[in-house]
Structure 1
């Protein structure tokens, strides 16, 4: 199968990144979200990201205007009928994801694979609300998507080897490799990362060290490019909180209890880079 047109559902940070990566590799993209306001913001983010990419990758041959033209921004889910592959990137909320999949399952061709871009939600559970559980697979992209060469791919209970092969070919077309893991909450990356970030938030909350020092320890002692709290700001503290809550609910283990400081910051709108302030300021 050729992936000429790819549907991307959800025009937040991850959805824009996936759409950009796909368009840069020559795909036509239908980028769907529920409001024109979200799509207008996505257009701005995409223009900024493309300018930055062209600036820092001068030999790449990427033409920002040509890439932008390959992406169709729309609130009309029916346009997904022409998609040859779908990547879903909506918020980490099961109720919302369930509604999205029940909706797109009726629109998208039965042979098309659904890739769930999630950090914690069960791929098997997503597949259960569709008529194609064998064609549902997890694709945990990393941010910023165009710059990251690896994707964590998750095999649901019903996901077939053929779907995994299709996913590998799709990702290779994006210039990415993948590692396939099993469908348990948080998979590999976020089962470790979210616990680390949550514990780092407890450190700040308990006055053990300020956020800058927590991050500096990880950067200088362990050669991490970013500390856990700077990473949290990049991902978005609202996404972090939802992911930790999914882990807490899934495992019923107190070690995943969300830090009260994390919950307070999200309630205050301190979401990280996208809001201008999280554990660090970005003004």
Structure 2
């Protein structure tokens, strides 16, 4: 059993905390917004109770929640052996957070960056422990996905890799090693696909339902790219594409204006009730 800090109580952070707690680890879930923490608690309880109905194992929701501490202060991470950061894919926010984590945590605490696009070496440079910073790109929904990208930075030590690998295996995850480059493997490909699919809607070539039907019907994909965007979060898609554009300075990563408009309008997908599809019903 490991004491693991989880920073960020959005969809990803909540899933990570749930996965840790169902794997017998103690988790401390931190977010600056008490409302997000309350939502995270409710979501974890609901998903635990629904597990058996959806073909999964029977999960004791009370026991899982009993292994999670919810709070707003980074000081609660003082004794954590590993901290998994899951905040928005926004460099300004991350660059302000990591020096604070450095102060709040023990010198030997390992930092795991749960990011889909930001280079791990760039994050590690914000800390006084670059050898103890490791990237892991968890997939959504975290408790249901059996694999993740496993990304060491330039300075990441072998002992740090071993610690994070063992933690992931205990969570039922297969770590797939990839090298440190913006977007890694999955999002270097996926974000281009989703962004181009959004351009098709933006330009009137096809509506969202038609775009997704082509991918499901012609290629056998279980979800189309715009359904996937709604699941991940339209705002998260936009931020990831912007990171790729900034890192590579390549016009092929130019963000679709429709993604910008939807993000500004609060149409973030499933988590907001509406994105390319309406989930209010």
What TM bracket, shorter-length normalisation? over 0.9
| SS class of match (1:87) | strand
Which residue matches 1:37?
A: 35
Q: Which one of 161, 164, 170 corresponds to residue 164 of structure 1?
A: 161
Shift of 1:47: 2.0
Shift of 1:52: 2.3
Shift of 1:50: 1.8
Q: 2:77 matched to 1:71?
A: no
Structure 1 CA distance, aligned partners of 2:218 and 2:163? Answer: 40
Which residue matches 2:204?
A: 207
Which residue matches 1:5?
A: 3
Q: 2:242 matched to 1:241?
A: no
Q: 2:224 matched to 1:222?
A: no
Superposed counterparts of 1:123-162, under 5 Å? 123-162=120-159
Q: Which one of 53, 56, 59 corresponds to residue 54 of structure 2?
A: 56
Q: Which one of 83, 93, 97 corresponds to residue 86 of structure 1?
A: 83
Shift of 1:57: 3.8
Out of 187-196 and 152-161, give the one that drifted further: 152-161
Shift of 1:223: 1.3
Runs of 4+ in 1 over 6 A off after TM superposition: none
Q: 2:117 matched to 1:117?
A: no
Alignment size in residue pairs: 280
Contact 1:54 1:64 survives alignment (8 Å): no
RMSD of aligned Cα (Å): 1.1
Shift of 1:31: 0.3
Structure 1 CA distance, aligned partners of 2:20 and 2:255? Answer: 34
Shift of 1:101: 0.9
Q: 2:96 matched to 1:99?
A: yes
Structure 1 CA distance, aligned partners of 2:58 and 2:39? Answer: 26
Structure 1 CA distance, aligned partners of 2:46 and 2:266? Answer: 23
| Structure 1: runs of 5 or more not aligned | none
Shift of 1:184: 0.7
Out of 162-171 and 8-17, give the one that drifted further: 162-171
Contact 1:54 1:63 survives alignment (8 Å): no
| Structure 2: runs of 5 or more not aligned | none
1:192-247 Cα distance to aligned partner (Å, 9 max, x none): 00000000000011111110111111111111111100000000001000000000
Contact 1:198 1:258 survives alignment (8 Å): yes
Q: 2:258 matched to 1:258?
A: no
Contact 2:51 2:58 survives alignment (8 Å): no
1:163-215 Cα distance to aligned partner (Å, 9 max, x none): 21221111001011111111111010000000000000000111111101111
Contact 2:49 2:59 survives alignment (8 Å): no
Shift of 1:35: 2.1
Which residue matches 1:27?
A: 25
